[in-house]
Amino acid sequence: MAQALRLALERALPQAPSKRPGLPWQWLAALPVMLIFGPLLPGLYWALSPALDATVWQALWLDAQWPQALRSTLISSVLGTLLACGMAALLATLHYPGRLWGSLQRRLPLLLSVPHAAFAVGLFFLIAPSGWLARTIAHFVQWTGPPDWVTVQDPYGLSLALALAIKESWFLLWVLAAVLGEQAVSRQMVMGRSLGYSRTQTWRLILWPQLLPRLRWPVIAVFAYGLSVVDMAIILGPGTPPTLAALIWHWLTDPDPALQARGSAASMILLIVLLTCVLAVRGLLWLMKRHQPYPAGQRKPTASRRWLKLHTPLFLVGYAVVAVLLLWSVAQEWFFPALLPDALSLESWHQADWAPFWTTLWLAMAASLLCLPAVLVWLEWGPKRLNALLYLPLIVPALPLVAGQYATLLHLQLDGTAVALVWSHLLWVLPYMVLTLIGPYRAFDLRLMTSARALGYSPWRACLHVKWPILLRPILATLAVGFAVSVAQYLPTLFAAGGRFVTVTTEAVALSAGGNRRVLAVQALLQIALPMAAFGLAAAAAYWLGRHRKGLR
Amino acid sequence: MKLSTLAAIALTLGVSTWANADWSQTQNEAKGQTVYFNAWGGSEATNAYIAWAAKEAKTRYGIDVRHVKITDTAEVVKRVQTEMAAGRTSDGSVDLMWVNGENFRNLKNGGLLFGPWAQNLPNWGLVDLNKPVRTDFSVPTEGYESPWGTAQLTFIADSAKTPKPPRSAADLLAFSKANPGRVSYPKPTDFHGTTFVKQMLLELTPNRAVLQQPVTPAAFATATQPLWAYLDQLHPSLWRNGKTFPASAAEMHRMLGDGELKMSITFNPNEAANLIASKQLPASAYSFGFTGGTIGNVHFVAIPVNAHAKAGAQVFANFLLSAEAQTRKADITVWGDGTVLDITKLPTASQAQIRKTAPGALAEVVPTLPEPHASWVEALEAEWLKRYGSR
């Protein structure tokens, strides 16, 4: 009775003129996005206009380095992306649904929280000619000196491709896990299986055709990252010449304006490469859609390939990277071919500088917490057609964007301030958060919202009390991703902070110029600890908040 | 330590009474300022020393010095340029920077430096004017930068594996051929790599005097022809057949420690001692130079024209030039960077501290060769990249 009365009263209160999201809502949704993107536009003009000159392109064409730089960039990014997709897809097809998939999911946060730079450092410690792998072999075959291997910094960028493949396969598995956690998807698997189709068949006929379009943006982001990565390329990529992204970074930071313009022009080449590849992928998806075999009704017996333990090496590399970093951080004397350090000490930890750690913590918290309401409001009421615009920072090479941001901050006299630093991070934190959340958000069963609205909730209250609580798990995961993205930012921190704020990432890269692996290992581990804590907290909070609700777990 | 401070104060008073009024005004202005000191952050010994100097500046002069750790000074040059281009002529983000060579030349030619100020510093009177502290790669400093330390190109090897090191360019070629894949040098434009190329140029060029003049295309072609012939011969026997190069000297130290290389390179004759102490090189490592001498230079600190805390930067630069700070910097257990002061003007305790040595440090006298004119650097780097940058 009281309930009905309240509903009636609420309905009697003046409401928004339209039930559909009106213009004010859309404005509200677009405002934070405009604050993040708007000021960038004049900055981009100031930073990139030097490239609009034919002589700059001529100079670039004559430069001896760029064709090979482009080659190693293409090999590392294309191969890395393909391998990452292949490994993630194979693992999902083999093990979802199942006990192993669950344990995979639980182990992912540790691996995901290893930032790219730290992972590259650890992998280098493993596979370099003086690394752990070679030391193990040397132990048995009595080598006196390191072997003549070209396992890192090879001219084709193969080691960089390997690093990207491993690192990004974890990211894709994480995305897949979020999508596969949805009720709608798991019901389809049950349905397919109960109709007698094998697991592989169900995957091929039902799940992949639905999942592929939704995985398009994450895969493109992975590819774009591989194209424009600088920190990993410096550690594992070729040096003579470096990858195109590293070369551009070199040019853009050169005092010579002609070389800066060449950097701007070369970053446009990256963009063209990316567009070409995106179009190719779209064509491929279109072809697959056309040739999608209609389920012929033939049930094939399950060919169990579960003996294929692909996840073992994939996870082992991750653990070995963390282990070798831990060992280096406490090592004393440790020269080739010693398998283990001569002695251990906590000296490097005692001397470690913790200031970057705290800066990173507040910065990443501010960036991810500021972005969360913006992401939710945008996904709910923002103009859907403009989502692609939000993804631009993920697919445009980071360097010109950072240069544009810096030009804007200079004109506003805001560089070197905390506000500027947080703002510069939002440009990458926001799209990654949208990207993580959009899948679960789109897959949300709209009938629940219709019911809520039919029972008299305003759009705002329906979101607050029905939609967002149900989406709690992906929302918390999104928050953790935003945090991790902020922690890993190197170039924006360096430019916007004017060197006045030091994060664990800038500190680690600055230290990587020196050769002391102990100090480097300490900073790399601190860089790992922050996102790891965020992912762990997000998972724990989701579990705790959903402990009485079967569908939320 | 106390004694040296007193001596420094006494000397300071003696040399620059005429500037006392001006200087105390600068000191008053400096109080409470924050100085952003942009300096290479790739060595813990250097970072720890700068942290010490910052702490002293806080207690003595009330200046808040923040070390902005950078990997490449050219980035700071770019930052100052961009700020000026954007119309930020005061309140810039860099107050003091560690600089020399072509970076200084670019800043000075671009009118991006504040000054002249260096020769008005009270501690300028302690500086050893016999060292090349008034030219920087043959470019006159004219008081736009204050000397901080001296450096000399030095090689490091492991006596357990290389008892008899190469002593000249020709020696090095034979050594490399005898030890294929175990010799290399950092890739230019890394400054150690560029210096290695300049060292070979100085040894091989027909007329060294030409290198002290600004570069011209004709002079470049004649002077560098033997260098390229030499490198063409050397590269096939280098690490990975000279198709790729280590990124930095620090990477070479690591490779030397692991036995991947037989030689490493440094600009600090005491660095090997530091690396042994921090367990980055085995105790059997030692330093050596070429018989004909190696390139030596001076590194400086400069103030950008748009610096915010110009007074604070000068007071801190003056402190860096004090007997106490220079003695500590030269101490091999702290940093081991050569002093720019006249040692005979220092108290005996300081002299002993500076002359202290440790296993691994350069124990022989190596003649110093002057740097080529700064304009040669860019020409050499460009030509090197054209010939060997993409193989």
Nearest CA-CA partner of A323 in A535, A524, A100: A524
d(CA B150, CA A517): 27
Mean pLDDT of A321-330: 93
Q: Which residues of A touch B247 (CB under 8 A)?
A: 234, 239
Chain A nearest C-alpha distance from B229 (Å): 20
Name the residue of chain B whose CA is nearest to A518's CA: B280
Q: Smallest CA–CA separation between B380 and chain A, in Å?
A: 15
Q: At B336, list the tokens.
A: 């081991």
For residues B333-354, give the mean pLDDT. 90
In the predicted structure, residue B1 carries a pLDDT above the cut 50? no
Task: Report the chain B residue with the minimal C-alpha distance to residue A499.
Answer: B68
Contacts of B349 (CB under 8 A, 6+ apart): B1, B3, B4
Tokens found for residue A154:
């090879």
Handedness of CA A280, A284, A286, A287 (dihedral sign): positive
Contacts with A253 from chain B: Cβ below 8 Å: 72, 74-75, 78
> Looking at chain B, which residue has its C-alpha nearest residue A335?
B258
Top residue of B52, B68, B83, B162 to mutate, by most chain A CBs within 10 Å, is B68
Instruction: Look at A114-128, B53-67, B152-166, B168-182 and tell me which has the smallest mean pLDDT.
Output: A114-128
| CA dist list (Å): A239 to A119, A126, A340, B247 | 19, 19, 29, 7
Give residue-wise pLDDT tens across range A168-177: 999 899 888 8
Q: Which of A114, A80, A29 is nearest to A379 (CA)?
A: A29
Whether residue A50 lies within 8 A of chain B, CB to CB, comes out as: no
pLDDT in tens, A16-43: 333 455 567 777 778 888 888 899 889 8
The residue that leads in pLDDT, A453 or B97, is B97
Half-sphere exposure of A358 (CA within 13 A, CB side): 4
| Predicted confidence (pLDDT) per residue in A404-425, tens digit | 888 888 788 888 889 999 999 9
B-chain CB neighbours of A61 within 8 Å are none
Taking CA–CA distances from B242, the nearest residue in chain A reads A240
Percent of chain A with pLDDT over 90: 21
Instruction: Please tell me the predicted confidence (pLDDT) of residue A436.
Output: 82
Residues across chain A: 553
Burial annotation A72-85 (CB, 10 A radius, 16+ → b, else e): bbbbbbbbbbebbb
What's the confidence (pLDDT) of residue B297? Answer: 92
Q: What DSSP character marks residue A466?
A: I
- Encode pLDDT of A393-409 as tens digits: 887 777 778 888 888 88
Q: Which of A146, A155, A260 sits opposite B244 (nearest CB)?
A: A155
CA atoms of B31 and B50, how far apart (whole Å): 19
Residue B172 pLDDT more than 90?
A: yes
B-chain residues within 8 Å CB-CB of A238?
Answer: 244
Least confident of A435-449, A468-482, A520-534, B51-65: A435-449
A502 touches chain B (CB under 8 A): yes
Q: Which of B8-22, B168-182, B321-335 has the lowest mean pLDDT?
A: B8-22
B16 — pLDDT class (breaks 50, 70, 90): very low
* Short-list B243, B321, B56, CA closest to A72: B243
* Segment A455-514, tens digit of pLDDT: 988 888 888 888 888 888 889 989 998 999 999 888 888 888 877 888 888 888 777 656
More confidently predicted of A14 and B188: B188
Determine the average pLDDT of the residues in B230-242. 95
**Residue A7: its pLDDT value, please?**
37
* A81 neighbors A280 (Cβ within 8 angstroms): no
Confidence at residue A355, expressed as pLDDT on a 0 to 100 scale: 86
CB-based contact, A410 to chain B, within 8 Å:
yes
Q: How far is A322 from chain B (nearest CA, A)?
A: 20
Beta strands in chain B (DSSP E): 34-40, 64-70, 96-99, 135-136, 139-140, 145-152, 154-158, 263-266, 285-288, 294-302, 368-369
Say if residues A434 and A379 touch (Cβ distance below 8 Å): yes
Inter-residue contact A350 to A519 (CB < 8 Å) = no
Pairing of strands B285-288, B263-266: unpaired
Task: Locate A473 and state its tokens.
Answer: 């798990």
Looking up tokens 């030397």 gives B256
The helix/strand/coil state of A549 is: coil
Structure confidence by residue, pLDDT tens digits, B251-275:
899 999 999 999 999 999 999 998 9
Residue-wise pLDDT tens digits, B270-307: 999 989 988 899 999 999 999 999 999 999 999 999 99
Q: What type of residue is B74?
A: A
Q: pLDDT by residue (tens digit) across A237-289? A: 887 788 998 898 888 777 677 888 888 888 888 888 988 988 988 888 888 77
Which of A240, A248, A409, A413 is the best mutation test for B, with the most CBs of B within 10 A?
A: A240
Look at residues A401, A410, A431 and name the one whose alpha carbon lies nearest to residue A491.
A401
Predicted confidence (pLDDT) per residue in A180-220, tens digit: 877 777 888 888 888 888 888 888 888 888 888 888 878 88
Distance, CA of A346 to CA of A522 (rounded, Å): 10
Distance CA A94, CA A108 (A): 17
pLDDT band at A8 (very low <50, low <70, confident <90, very high): very low
Q: Which band of pLDDT confidence, cut at 50, 70 and 90, is reported for residue A383? A: confident
Query: What pLDDT does residue A293 have?
Result: 61
Q: How far apart are the first and last CA of chain A?
A: 34
The confidence score (pLDDT) of residue B14 equals 45
Whether the pLDDT of residue B8 is over 70: the answer is no
pLDDT of B207 strictly over 90: yes
**CB-CB contact of B191 with B352 (8 Å):** no
Using a CB-CB cut-off of 8 Å, the residues of chain A touching B250 are: 513-516
User: Of A90-99, A136-145, A389-398, B168-177, where does the model show the most confidence?
Assistant: B168-177
**Cβ within 8 Å of residue B216, ≥6 positions away:** none
ω into B122 cis (within 30 of 0): no
Residue A11 confidence (pLDDT): 39
A259 vs B220, residue with greater confidence? B220
Q: With bands split at pLDDT 50, 70 and 90, how would you rate the model's confidence at A304?
A: low
Mean pLDDT score of chain A: 83
Strand positions, DSSP E, A79-127: none
Token digits for A1?
């009775």
Q: Which residues pair with B113 in a beta bridge?
A: B304
User: Long-range CB contacts (< 8 A, 24+ apart) of A138-141?
Assistant: A138/A336, A138/A337, A139/A337, A139/A339
CB pair distance less than 8 Å for B88 and A144: no
Query: Can you point out the beta strands (E) in A358-407?
Result: none
Q: Are strands B96-99 and B34-40 parallel, antiparallel or unpaired?
A: parallel
